[in-house]
Amino acid sequence: MTRRTRVTTTDLTAQGVTAAKGRAHVVRTEGLTKVYRSLLSPAGVRAVDNLNLAVREGETYSIVGPNGSGKTTTLKILLGLIFPTSGSATIFGKTIADLGVRERIGFLPEDAYLYDCFSGEELLDFYAGLFGYSKAKRRQLTDELLELVGMQENRRVPFRECSKGMRQRLALAQALVNDPELLILDEPTSGLDPAGRHQMTLLIQELKRRGKTILLCSHFLAEVEEVCDRVGIMYRGKIVAEGALSELAGEPTEIVIEARGLPETAAEQIAALPGVLGVDGELVRMGHAEEGRLWSVLERVHQAGGRIVEVRRPRPSLQDVFVRAIREEPR
Amino acid sequence: MSQLRRPHWPAALLVVGLLLILAPLQERIHSARPRLFDPEQRVRRASAITIGPTAGVIAALGGFRTVAADLLWLRVERAWHGGNWWAIIPLLDAVVELDPHFLLAWKVYGWHCAYNLHVEAQTLVDKRYWLQRGLQVLERGVEANPGRWDLYFELGWTYYDRAHDAYRAAEWFRRADEFPDAPAYVTRLVYRPFERILDFDRLFPAIEYARAKHLDDHHHQRIVNRDLEWWTTRQDDPQEHRRQIVIENTRRHQRAIPFHMYPDNPYWDVCPRCGMPSAKDAQTCANCGYERPPEGWPDVPLIR
Amino acid sequence: MTPLASRVIVLVGVALVAAIVVITRRAWLPAVGHTFPSVWRIACITVAEARRRRVIQAVIILVVLLLSSMTFFTYLSPMEQARMIISSGLAAITVFGILLAIFVAAFLIPAEIENRTIYAILSKPVKRFEFVLGKYLGAMIVLGAIVAVMTVVLVGVLALQDRLVQDLPDSRFDPNLGPVILAAVLSYFALAVLTALIVLISTVGSTTMTVISAFIIWAIGSLQSTIHDLAENAAGVSRLVLLVLYNVVPKLENFDIRHEVSNFMSISVVAAWEAILHGLGYIVVVLILAAIFFNDRQV
């Protein structure tokens, strides 16, 4: 049985989701299925299995999943690069076969596949030209976008001579050339070093602030946590869990006190205190509802000689949710 | 799924319609092509069937017959300058087979057989063979290039100069002269063979024919008028006739078979003893009284 | 085919084409204003990409050197030299043109799919047939430039060749350059037809398959007379196969007047125009088929 968390308007807690409440759906799929058949596997491989996806205007939605879960296939179907076996998909309320829809979309492909013999300037000029912009407008757009992605100084460097980070930034710039309302980003931080990833995350946050709807695919959960309003965990072509981050993670279940230098004898005594679930080394765990006894436990720890470093209410991380959701899926 | 893709039937029907228009046109162009590119010419079909599989595949692929013919022609040049006259023959054969419109190759081939190899041949039989072969080659060349005057002229000249067959020569010169781009000397050559054999019945009409052409060419008109005047005054001069025959028999191509010994010549015959012309069906030579041997007896070599 | 039958077929074809064009006018008329700029942009990027490829530059330099070297036949008579320069020069233009056409065209679409640069283009409001058309147009501009360069060099060598005859300055042979240029133009249209077929195959196949098929089509297209002879002598299935090959594969011989030009024979301009117009029609058919196949291709 697939565990799916349906999002209802009443339990939205994330800021972006609250803001998107009541807005129209930008991306919507119903029963979307893609089966790859071949001579060697006539039964076929279900890359996308009865997918129902809904992304509202202004929100940042991320599809996360392991390699081969169907994330990129879903994006390619939405962009008309491949054709679904069954089901339907609409963007801005129109079928994806409608080319007018693409005027309002920007797509960042995985690994920045662009012509490598041209410079960033030339590439942006070309892609802007595909929208029918005049020469002056193309020049203006090129300058603005290169400024936005921080590639002004390297505008004449050929694409093949750019570093991975520069390539990703240029690829993002080409996705923004038509000032799209919907941005589809496929693994925007893949292959980047931490500094590059940080820069890309900042850019995505900037775009989010400008009110763009972002559909993001990634398996870097840390970046997803930083930018996304809602997350869909995809596994074997299906969404196995979906919702706002706080929704998915759930409520904190315990209070943890990190105390250094606590003697073992004192640890046993503290573990026996009411409200304390246990002591693991330097960590004293209390039940989430035992907030009222927190101060007394803190005092006992201090009296026992422990130096209190931190008190926190840990939530399961997205990674925990991810691993849990996948583990629960029948094989 | 199908609602996301456009129907293809309008495009498919468009394709069918266009193909219906194009198919007859392509066939028309292809089958008419040899005639279209020059209405007068009949190009021999250049397929592997006619010129042999190896040469056909190598040379006909992509239409590189001309280049292959050029390369062989360079080899002809090298063999020529190396003095290897006999090796040139198969090369020339291949060149004209590959490129039947290469006029120079036909000319050289015909000339080489009828002149050089004819001279080099040791026996009369071989001599006759090479002369006949040269004429045959030139006739093939004419058949392959019916729209060019050059090979008609070459054939006529070989009959005139080598085979001493004035009638055939005159006929080929006349055909060459039918082409509008044939030069003036070809027109004059229409009557020259008749001068040599003193056939005045044909000579004067031919001179008139030549006079009526190339009216703007003063040089041509001057020569034709000069010849007309000459033969008008010397038509009945037996001294001049004898002079002409002696000239004919003592020209530098003496080793060639004189025209009157050419077996197909319908009008003239020669006395094997004295070499003077006599009527074909005469049993006795009017000059020396030699009695001709009966039919079927071997040829008696010419005694001078 | 009798003349009446062929006229009937042509009329049916014209009626069908006109009917389709009128019926579907609502679909294509509004898009015309958008189509040409997109096609042109894609063509320009194709040309720019080809210009930066070293291989093409190297081939052009090689051919220019080859053509220039043909001035070394000075031991031949001027007429023979002119003939040799023309035949070899036009053959070089054809051979290198075809090789370049195959390698440019076979890599047009499959390379974009394999390198995935097509994602960034098809995710923009570019129709698939505009992409195919733009790629083809770009390839033809590149090939046209290459053929033009080679023709200019050949014409220059021809114009200069008589100046290289040292001993007999009066014995010049000035060949008429018009037929040489016409032969090069017809060669270009043969390349255009071949390139269209290669693009058609590349919309469904990989690069390797496209290159091999291109060479096979070139061979068949050049040997159409042989195939016709073989078909006349064959029977049964082989005759059917040969007839299909004969009628379906374009007759590249229709564009080949090199033989006539090398031998200084007269050329019919009307026939050349007919061959060009037919070639253009064939190209339209093939590109429509390519657009249909590419529409269904999953990238």
Q: Tens digit of pLDDT for each residue in C41-92?
A: 999 999 998 888 777 788 888 888 888 777 666 667 778 888 888 988 998 8
Residues 6+ apart with CB under 8 A from C284: B18
- Residue of C20, C233, C292 with shortest CB distance to B17: C20
C121 touches chain A (CB under 8 A): yes
Q: Give the domain extent around C145.
A: 35-295
Residue C26 lies in a domain: no
What are the pLDDT digits (tens) for C137-156? 999 999 999 999 999 999 98
Cβ atoms of residues A215 and A61 within 8 Å:
yes
Residues 6+ apart with CB under 8 A from C229: B45, B47, B48, B49
At B63 the pLDDT is 67
- Please give the angle made by the CA atoms of B41, B44 and B50, to the nearest 5 degrees: 175
Residue C241 lies in a domain: yes
Q: Which chains touch A (3 or more CB pairs under 8 A)?
A: B, C
Closest CA to C121 of C107, C137, C103, C134: C134
Sign of CA dihedral A313, A318, A321, A323: negative
Maximum average pLDDT range among A42-56, C263-277, C280-294: C280-294
Residue C6 lies in a domain: no
C64 touches chain B (CB under 8 A): no
Closest CA to C173 of C79, C87, C75, C265: C79
At C195 the pLDDT is 95
* Residues recorded for chain B: 304
- Residue of A81, A115, A131 with shortest CB distance to C299: A81
**Number of independent structural domains in chain C:** 1
* Residue A178 backbone dihedrals phi, psi, to 5 degrees: -105, 15
C229 with B47: Cβ contact below 8 A: yes
For all residues of chain C together, what is the average pLDDT?
85
At A197 the pLDDT is 86
Please name each of the domains of chain A with its CATH number. 1-92+181-251+316-331 (3.40.50.300), 254-312 (3.30.70)
Distance from CA of A126 to the nearest CA of C (A): 7
Residue C27 lies in a domain: no
Closest CA to C85 of C269, C261, C266: C261
| Nearest residue in chain A measured CA to CA from C39 | A130
A131 with C34: Cβ contact below 8 A: no
ipTM field = 0.82
C38 touches chain A (CB under 8 A): yes
Residue C251 lies in a domain: yes
The two beta strands, A213-218 and A182-186, are parallel
The two beta strands, A254-260 and A307-312, are antiparallel
At A9 the pLDDT is 31
* Chain A interface, best mutation among B1, B2, B5, by max A CB count within 10 A: B1
Residue C45 lies in a domain: yes
Number of Cβ within a 10 Å radius of residue A156: 9
Contacts 24+ apart (CB under 8 A), B152-155: B152/B176, B152/B179, B153/B182, B153/B186, B153/B189, B154/B106, B154/B107, B154/B110, B154/B111, B155/B110
B66 with C262: Cβ contact below 8 A: yes
What are the pLDDT digits (tens) for C27-39? 777 667 777 888 9
Q: In angstroms, rounded to a whole number, what is the distance separating the alpha carbons of residues B93 and B274?
A: 40
A275 touches chain B (CB under 8 A): no
| Nearest residue in chain A measured CA to CA from C44 | A126
Per-residue pLDDT of chain B (304 residues), as tens digits, is 344 455 677 778 888 888 878 877 777 776 665 543 333 333 344 444 444 455 455 555 556 788 888 888 988 888 888 888 888 898 899 889 888 899 999 999 999 999 999 888 888 888 888 999 999 999 999 999 999 999 999 999 999 888 888 889 999 999 999 999 999 999 999 999 888 878 888 899 999 999 999 999 999 999 999 999 988 988 888 777 777 766 666 654 444 445 455 445 544 566 666 666 666 666 777 777 777 666 655 544 443 3
Mean pLDDT of C102-109: 89
Residue C80 lies in a domain: yes
Contact residues, chain C, for B8 at CB < 8 Å = 292, 295
Residue with tokens 């006759």: B128
B4 with A83: Cβ contact below 8 A: yes
Residues of chain A with pLDDT under 50: 1-17
Residue C276 lies in a domain: yes
Q: Between C219 and C29, where is the model more confident?
A: C219
CA distance between the termini of chain A: 11
| Nearest residue in chain C measured CA to CA from A102 | C125
Token pair, residue C219, equals 């061979």
